[in-house]
Structure 1
């Protein structure tokens, strides 16, 4: 009997969603599983990319351009995200990976880079045993409904509010 894989959702305004997903990826690799990470919205050289390239069982792709969070997304941002979603669909349908992480996919939905029903129809194509992890703030209700596990990271206090900028190796 094939083990069931679940859909995880890490959301909320607190720090640690991507970090939790990467921790799960490393744990899965330690158990002999193959992992795919698709990072939506992100296109910059985040430090996790340097660390994760040392794991041959893991493939990571970025489906973002420059950071537009302080501006509005451009047509190119929308196209990059939609192309990324098509690639994720291929990865899911191929059935090669045991764990598929869609990092910041909720942010892509929040900025209307693609529709949540498109994402949901794609993740529902997963093999029974495939684990899918979705991250990002502002998870829509329909994604919460589809997920088997939902964790909300809640900000209680953050040094960013005292003017501390994002730090390499800690926030990026």
Structure 2
């Protein structure tokens, strides 16, 4: 691996079945915004309001966030409009990454979008290969394909060891969404 240079941007991947992938990416985004960096967060699959979106409004001068989902279809098969929204989002995210206008770009739940075949792995690899050298790229979502693990410079796997969901605790606003 090459030595770090101040303009070198790396590829992060947060994956696994445990909780905290999006939270980790947002934490990195907040840190980058605090350092004066420009951040773009694109959320695939998600189209519902989440508390973190409200919190990030206070950082709107540094963080832009857009959702490329319609609703949560995880318990059902994606519909053609779900696929269309994701493909439109990937095209927009590719243009955003290629523009070099942002220091950090988060592709939240991109692995889930790949798992549900909302777009091709080749299109995502093209986006990664198009990344300007200085752009930090953060990918999240369970079921990361081996090709993304291989391309990433940093891979963190969130492991689900114990979770109160199994005792019937529903998702709580401000904690899980």
Pick the TM interval, shorter chain.
Answer: over 0.9
Calculate the TM-score normalised by the size of structure 1.
0.98
Aligned residue for 1:21, secondary structure, equals: helix
Name 1:30's counterpart in structure 2. Answer: 34
Which residue, out of 92, 98, 108, partners 1:103? 108
Say whether 1:127 aligns with 2:127. Answer: no
Q: Give the Cα separation in 2 of the matches to 1:78 and 1:4.
A: 33
Q: Give the Cα separation in 2 of the matches to 1:20 and 1:123.
A: 20
Aligned residue for 1:151, secondary structure, equals: strand
Q: Which runs of 5+ in 1 are unaligned?
A: none
Which residue, out of 154, 164, 170, partners 2:169? 164
Residue by residue over 1:94-148, the C-alpha shift from the partner in whole angstroms, topping out at 9 and shown as x without a partner, is 1110000000010000000011111011121111010000000000011111111
Deviation of the 1:27 alpha carbon: 0.5
Which residue, out of 148, 167, 172, partners 1:143? 148
Q: Give the Cα separation in 2 of the matches to 1:12 and 1:140.
A: 11
Name 2:123's counterpart in structure 1. Answer: 118
Q: Give the Cα separation in 1 of the matches to 2:9 and 2:171.
A: 34
Say whether 1:88 aligns with 2:93. Answer: yes
Aligned residue for 2:75, secondary structure, equals: coil
Q: Give the Cα separation in 1 of the matches to 2:34 and 2:125.
A: 28
Deviation of the 1:34 alpha carbon: 0.3
Structure 1 consecutive aligned stretches of length 4 or more whose deviation exceeds 3 Å? none
Deviation of the 1:52 alpha carbon: 0.5
Aligned length: 172
Deviation of the 1:31 alpha carbon: 1.0
Name 2:46's counterpart in structure 1. Answer: 42
Q: Which runs of 5+ in 2 are unaligned?
A: none
Name 1:4's counterpart in structure 2. Answer: 8
Deviation of the 1:53 alpha carbon: 1.0
Calculate the TM-score normalised by the size of structure 2.
0.95
Deviation of the 1:2 alpha carbon: 5.4
